[in-house]
Amino acid sequence: MNVSPAAPPAVPTHCPYCALQCGMGLRQRPGGEALEVVERPGFPVNRGALCGKGRTAPDLLAPGTRLTRPLVRRPGRGLRPAGWDEALDRIAHVLSGSRDAHGADAVAVFGGGCLTNEKAYALGKFARVVLGTSQIDYNGRFCMSSAAAAHQRAFGLDRGLPFPLDDIPHTGCLILVGSNLAETMPPALRYLTQLRANGGKLIVVDPRRTRTAEQADLHLAPRPGTDLALALGLLHLVVAEGRLDEEFIAARTSGWPEARASVMAHWPELVERITGVPLPALREAVALFCDAPASMVLTARGPEQHSKGTDTVGAWVNLCLATGRAGRPFSGYGCLTGQGNGQGGREHGQKADQLPGYRKLDDPAARAHVAAVWSVDPDALPGPGRSAYELLDALGGDVKSLLLMGSNPVVSAPHASRITERIGALDFLAVADVVLSETARLADVVLPVTQWAEETGTTTNLEGRVILRRQAADPPPGVRSDLEVLHGLAVRLGHGDGFPTDPQQVFGELARASAGGPADYSGISYRRIAEEDGVFWPCPDAPAPDSEDGASDARAAAAPHPGTPRLFLDRFATDDGRARFVPVAHRPAAEEPDADFPVLLTTGRVLAQYQSGAQTRRVTELNAAAPGPFVQVHPLPADRLGVSEGDAVAVVSRRGRAVAPARIGTDIRPDTVFMPFHWPGEGRANTVTNPALDPVSRMPEFKVCAVRLEPLDGRARAAL
């Protein structure tokens, strides 16, 4: 009798895409070398559920899909295969030459929210210690920087969610602002389903009737760019209807009188005119939110990617504070981080103004602590540099050379045609990536690096849960890890020590560098992560807190710190322990419609693609499900334009034009069009988006700009 061989055990790991970091298993397919995904039902975030991107992630490991050899540009003749020594020698030679000729800040580093904590940490250290440059930032600036800035202002600490996702089903009302979880994080939709099954209410704020909005008890569809006014209008009604939690405000907050004065200038009828949301719907939202015993607000890119994103998030935070919906069980404000390691990526040194542990680069004590771990003089560390868009916009000017890891700004940056020009103006570009992205195609040297399944390392998900991705397969010959790349460059640039290639060793150093900082990882280890399904930061290397009755025996004192799943239950992370109200006022978007550009454009994602699409567009199943860009248009403007379903439409702004087929339906406001941003070429949505920056977070205004529609069909009647 023939007996089939037993399937090999699956390696427990995590999806390489969004910030849920869903648990999965990887194992060799029977009779072949390819990996297959198996469920990992024990991991609490997704309980085995995966979206199509997670299920097909191993397809990217195929040799024909990904890079396997370094590439070096021949003058005037394109990229050619090269050996690692030649590629690294050339990068080191040019970076040192730029630095010597023009100063350290002539060399820049740009990272990505997909990099593991270890790689993000090593990249920040490499920029500041080896290159001595202040010019480092990362694409996570385009993710949740506005929410991070608002967190810092109000709570004194930034962590995407101050509570686990498992708390969501137990709240009484959730306001979900600018997030389409059903398409961007499908496994998280179960939390909304459980919430409603438990009797909780869901309010979705989105200018489109998305798949997520269809699940809502109440859908508010404000005009793009008016979420700030909406939040202020809701809080005005809270005050007017006597729904404030005066006891909480007095005991646990500061700054309410000033914030109250700004709120009262936004009366409901005015907010109705600004947002287009009817007054009865505003009143219903306030009743649902305040009548529940506990409530939450979660924001995502919708309200955050604006030139007033920090103030907008601050207005939603103020709503939570004024109603006592913060620092209490099953209540609070949180941000749904987008990129896989968007949270950890900024905590440990990629961001222009931060050192590991979420320390401020301009804080002398922080500089001294990290410099001691790095064995350098604190005075040798550069100061804060430019934010992401400002750095990209400076390329080819005083920034001569760029090392880029894990990002594709040719597709993902606002005013992308401008950024493409600036990249072309560089003296030198080196890119380390898994695939030959649109940005990598412009590089002078391209380095093939390992993927998530071919390496071990940690990431930090949207809950602040530090998790471990484990290596499940060997990389192809000729492929190296980012840590090996940084080590090789550091050696060539005279820094042979301090850049190990073992991720566990790097994590140990990261933990020491973060010790005592806001994002303290010093009590976290690979072993603990594996045993506990992740560890929530802050987790200092300290004994467990005393029990509730104050008793503490030797055994309890020796126990490690348990981590911090829930923040702010006792005090906020400010000097006095109080949350801070910040007065904010509505202001228009940086670019409002006019006679030449009468329509609003907003952008976002679709289910089958991810970010710039550099990876997902190479997966057959995903590309078949979402093969190209489109323009979502309401039937009323479509009829005026004479445009039918599938007709080509140009979306034109002051910065350029994008062309894509029309998708006509009533799930969007008549004054608004929508484009997904995953594609390059003529359908690149970010050709037209506005790089106007938030003055605090330096977040570009991706989510709203003024455009006109130009039908390309001869039957069309006029432009709109």
CATH number of the domain where residue 79 is located: 3.40.50.740
Please report, for the domain that includes residue 610, its CATH number: 2.40.40.20
- Does 607 lie in the same domain as 493? no
pTM, full prediction: 0.94
166 and 272 in a single domain? The answer is yes
| Residue 28 placed within a domain | yes
Say if residue 280 is in the same domain as residue 321.
Answer: yes
CATH of the domain at 34: 2.20.25.90
Q: Confirm whether 586 is domain-assigned.
A: no
Q: In this structure, is residue 533 part of a structural domain?
A: no
Of 283, 306, 335, the residue that ends a domain is 335
Classify 673 as helix, strand or coil. strand
Q: Which domain holds residue 264?
A: 161-335
| Structural domains of the chain, count | 4
Residues 208 and 106 in one domain: no
Residue by residue, DSSP assigns 603-648 as EE--TT--TT-TTGGG-HHHHHHS-S--EEE-HHHHHHHT--TT-E
Answer yes or no: are the C-beta atoms of 27 and 38 closer than 8 Å: yes
Q: Is residue 571 a part of any domain in this protein?
A: no
Residue 302 amino acid letter: G
Report d(CA 383, CA 398) in Å as an integer: 17
Structural domain ending residue among the three candidates 485, 502, 519: 502
Percentage of the chain beyond pLDDT 70 is 95
Residue 405: the pLDDT is 97
10-residue stretch averages of pLDDT, the chain, 720 residues long:
64 96 92 86 96 95 90 92 98 97 98 96 98 96 93 96 97 97 95 97 98 97 98 98 98 98 96 98 98 98 96 98 97 93 90 95 97 97 97 98 97 97 98 97 98 96 97 94 98 94 98 97 96 96 60 57 96 97 97 97 96 94 96 96 96 98 97 97 97 96 97 61
Domain membership of residue 412 (yes or no) is yes
Check whether residue 299 and residue 166 sit in a common domain: yes
Q: 121: exposed, middle or buried (C-beta count within 10 Å: 0-12, 13-18, 19+)?
A: buried
CA end-to-end span of the chain:
72
> Tell me, what CATH number does 245's domain have?
3.40.228.10
Q: Determine the residue type at 360.
A: K
